Structure 1
């Protein structure tokens, strides 16, 4: 236990320091927000001065766990009264958006001659929740570490671009309608942290709406993993593959619905049914924000730009094409279903 804590401390503390610096810099550049500064600063330092293996264990822990804690705590700041504002049109939007993203990622991946491991990880990572989705999909399709790692890099890099672009694009197209801007960000941007960071560039109301749309996508992870498992079994044409997957599910090794989503829902129910003291919501928001900023700093530190550049034009075309389709389809669907 002590050895594990020591191993993680360097990277975790480094991400924490970057988060503190980022918050300080918001005094001078308040329109960008601490979360956005944290990931940009993390990317710069992680690919220059702080490209150190000793940081890996801590930044990996911060990226995964703190984002989960951030989403979980947001449940204490949201009620079902707010969720009901999304209506059935919001759910239909998410289902269609995810379906088109997945089909597009698979077809483009095949067209560019990528293997199943790449195109299914890319499809799930873009459609659902970035690295977390890829981590859940990898074992059921027997993807290699290289395929999963490259997919994570591509998805995170495109997510960073969309994180910065969509708040501006959403405001230009939808004006100051927080629901629509939240739908665009929450229904499109890849990872949870990037969604929150992107919406933070707009305002707190947009953060709430974007988080709700994002949670809908995360909940759909169970469907995506199940479908991909069947696709893999069909592609391999081996009955044993399906049996192995079923065994893994029974053993609890495949986590369809993330634990933090369940706690988000539990906290949301409590916040909806009971009149919780104001300090509970305020404290949850404070802790959630700091978890998010530290996690985003860690994501930046872990993002390997060199690996992406070395991957060549094929990977760039793939990532950009899927991202463009996501954004364009989202804009059309929001106009048709929600606006």
Structure 2
């Protein structure tokens, strides 16, 4: 009862925005519910403002629901299918991931972009847009404005990709599998991958979706790597400040462990196809709901102060990943 009193108002507000955003996302799939959620939340927070009694609930939703959504999405993954597809797309995936992180770090440093924003844009482009940003943000302790900016940046290029990739794929004479692999490794959000893949052909759409789901599992190692890096940094800071009570357990992304457990349960066949479908729908809605809360916490003035540089970085990283995917396919003879 006490939880409802403290968090209920903000939770309900995020839920209502998520319902509206999900509806709009279905009407305009090229944009998607997550983008509508961020935009509506930002507009409310930076015009009329959110009610003071919603503060705790909005914070709870933006942090806890975001993590729970990742776990739920894990239950929709079959590790058998991931392994099968991963073998054929592994080389492309490793090169695109490496290209994304190197471009984000290198160009981000040259452009003087804050490290957290740089990391979020790199992760979002490398793995799977909003879901990856949701997984990494609590580990690196990113604030809502940084999360909102990075997600907005990633989704902008998703929209461009859905429009540009299919005609370009036909122009380049891609096979269904080649285009599916390109879309699955170079477009960020799952809905955008599906839209671009099926716009090319049904076979390309099916393959792109599987490649994308395989790419999603990269959340696990990347989250662990970031945890170790943050741990090293915090240990050094604690030592410099004369403290010795730093604990790795405090920053370990336990929700990623549960993501893996949920995936294993699905792989063992404990969930029927109908249940998996419901789980995927619930996970996506929870992401939209959490991003509604992120938008409700984002300060548009801070976003404007950050300038267009992160947007340019997002373009550079996305372009680098797209070219890297094509290059590896040509080198390995998959095109």
Conservation of the 8 A alpha-carbon contact between 2:95 and 2:325 = no
Distance 1:181 1:222, change over 3 A: same
Instruction: Tell me which residue corresponds to 2:106.
Output: 107
Does the CA-based 8 Å contact 1:167-1:199 persist in structure 2?
Answer: yes
* TM-superposition CA deviations, 1:237-258 (whole Å, max 9, x none): x9947x9899522x45333772
**Residues 78 and 17 (structure 1), Cα distance of their counterparts in 2 relative to 1, 3 Å cut:** same
2:252 is aligned to 254
CA distance in 2, matches of 1:285, 1:306: 35
Matches for 1:66-85 after TM superposition, within 5 Å: 66-85=65-84
Instruction: Note closer, same or farther for the CA distance 1:312–1:248 as it changes in structure 2 (3 Å cut).
Output: same
* Structure 2: runs of 5+ lacking an equivalent: 199-204
Contact 1:125 1:133 in 2 (8 A): no
Does the Cα contact within 8 Å between 1:70 and 1:289 map onto a contact in 2? yes
Partners in 1 of 2:255 and 2:51 — Cα distance?
33
Kindly report the root-mean-square deviation, in angstroms, between the aligned alpha carbons of the 2 structures.
4.2
Partners of 1:47 and 1:95 lie apart in 2 by 40
The answer to whether the Cα contact below 8 Å between 1:12 and 1:59 also exists between their aligned partners in 2 is: yes
Q: What pairs up with 1:190-229 in 2 under 5 angstroms? A: 195-199=189-193, 201=195, 205=206, 207-227=209-229
Offset at 1:34?
4.4
- Does residue 291 (structure 1) correspond to residue 290 (structure 2)? The answer is no
Equivalent residue runs for 1:57-68 within 5 Å? 57-68=56-67
Q: How many residues align?
A: 317
Distance 2:195 2:36 in 1: 11
Q: Is 2:136 the counterpart of 1:133?
A: yes
Distance (Å, rounded) in 1 between the aligned partners of 2:3 and 2:231: 33
The answer to whether residue 24 in structure 2 is matched with residue 17 in structure 1 is no
TM-score (norm 1): 0.71
Q: Corresponding residue for 2:202?
A: none
User: Taking structure 1 as reference, are residues 52 and 311 closer, same or farther at Cα in structure 2, changes over 3 Å only?
Assistant: farther
Q: TM-score, normalised by structure 2?
A: 0.71
| CA–CA separation in structure 2 for the residues paired with 1:121 and 1:289 | 19
Distance 2:176 2:294 in 1: 30
* Residue 186 (structure 1) shift: 5.8
Residue equivalent to 2:201: none
